[in-house]
Amino acid sequence: MRRLTFGALVVAASLALPTAVLAHVGPPVTFTDTVKQTDIVPSVNDCTGDPGTLTVTYNGVFHVTQFADGHYHLTGTQTGTVEFDTADPTKPDYSGRVTVWFGENGNVNGFNGTFTLNGRATGTDGSTLQIHQTSHITIVGSDVVVQFDKLSCG
């Protein structure tokens, strides 16, 4: 599964926030957006190392709360189907389900964000893959004070 694809979705969601929400002064403003989307990207299966094409079709909900003093909370959940078409025809392709969650809090002094991914897929040869990923980052000023990315396959 492609880890960067989901991380990129988190970044894209936070960058796509309406300027009016980010520039608001006054009581907190909330913004919720729902999406249905299919992403098709070249990728590497993180569990097997095999190159191929990843197709993820998901429903997502993104929620933002922006406060007058500039701090914010952003969270999102995406869930749907995943297909991995392995480039080598002698290797199995996989299809299954995936759920991604992320949350971020920030202010003028820094931010922290956490990301989780859980997926299960069945191969055309009957094998199964289970993937779990947890990532976190905390930045204070311009310094990364905590950062980890843990991936497990089973």
Cα separation, 138 vs 140, whole angstroms: 7
pLDDT of residue 25: 59
For the chain, the domain total comes to 1
Cα separation, 105 vs 100, whole angstroms: 17
**Please, what is the Cα angle at 74 between 39 and 66, to 5 degrees?**
135
| Cα distance between the two ends of the chain | 13
pLDDT of residue 7: 45
Measured in whole angstroms, the distance separating CA 27 from the mean position of its chain's CA atoms is 29
Q: Which one, of 21, 41, 43, lies nearest residue 32 by Cα?
A: 21
Q: What is the pLDDT of residues 55-78, one digit of tens each?
A: 999 999 999 999 999 899 999 999
Provide the domain limits for residue 103: 3-153
Report pTM: 0.78
pLDDT tens track, the chain, 154 positions: 444 444 444 444 444 444 444 454 578 999 999 999 999 999 999 999 999 999 999 999 999 999 999 899 999 999 999 999 999 999 999 999 999 999 999 999 999 999 999 999 999 999 999 999 999 999 999 899 999 999 999 8
